[in-house]
A = this chain, B = another copy of it.
Amino acid sequence: MSPKPTIAAVDWGTTRMRVWLLDATGAVVDERRSDEGLLTAQHKGFAPVLDGHLASMGAPADLPAIVCGMAGARQGWIEAPYVEVPASLGDILGAAVPVPGAGRDVRIVPGLAQRKEGAPDVMRGEETQLAGVAAEVGSGSHLVCMPGTHCKWVGVDDGTVAGFGTWPTGEMFSVFAQHSILRHSLGEKPAPVAPDNAVFRDWCNEALSDGDIGARLFGIRAAGLLSGLGQADAAAALSGLLIGAEIASATRRFGKRETPVVLVGSGPLGALYAEALTLGGLAVRIADADKAVLSGLVAAARRNGMLAEG
């Protein structure tokens, strides 16, 4: 039998949730993944979904829980109001909001808002992952890249979030691949792209030079008509174009740092970003995404007095 847990840590996103049971030192004693994200919980109720998972993991009914992610959105469990940047990661984690009537002590980490003229932006969930990453990389000035559907880039200076931006690169890939004229070029099920694909590299290099997407998108279609670019290479071209343009754009906004870009993500997408960053002349340091969010949740539990300092 597992040791008795002290707290549950929950990463509750739009379509998925992840639950860890932690002992008094913050070590994992049990974990599970589920598809009961925000969209499901809006129907079933957040408390019943969480209670169900914790009960089936054998956790006591009064076990406290620290939560991050979309559960704190306006359409979530309760709204955990955005903290405005610049803000220190310690203060952000410390601002977790208690959920009244949850039947147990539940607190939700707030998201971040940037109200700067010309660059309005929000994040929710990534701030906790970011806190884990920042603890790992330590003080100094860091540029953190968190790839995904809506890729976040964050400037972190000595544990303070200076500013951030969202590049919806994953979403652009999906909508162009499925709903634009490029669906004829990529085919019904776009092939996975390998980072050593020469077409990926070529299109990435081009886009790195000026960050221009609009001028090149239709070129993928034209290359199919004129030089027989195949479906797998068309997917590689689109991926290289969008990731290269994102890196050009983000480094233009944030400037380059003396420290390596901290890339939060392993797996195939992380490998594409690592290759693209390298093509862009940037040094890269990889941070594990799963480890980072758990480490951020543990830090949040400590900041809110739910777990003793480690």
Contacts and interface: CB of A to CB of B under 8 A. Distances in A.
Contacts of A221: 122
Contacts of A179: 175, 178-179
Q: How many copies make up the complex?
A: 2
A191 B118 CA distance: 23
Interface in A140-197: 150, 165-169, 171-172, 175-176, 178-181
Interface stretch (A40-48, A95-103, A128-136, A243-251): A243-251
Contacts of A249: 212, 214-215
A119 B166 CA distance: 28
A123 to B, nearest CB: 9
Interface string A105-135: 0000000011100111110000000000000
A210 B210 CA distance: 9
Interface in A220-237: 221-223, 225-227
Interface of A: 74, 82, 113-115, 118-122, 150, 165-169, 171-172, 175-176, 178-181, 206, 210-215, 217-219, 221-223, 225-227, 242, 245-246, 249-250, 252-253
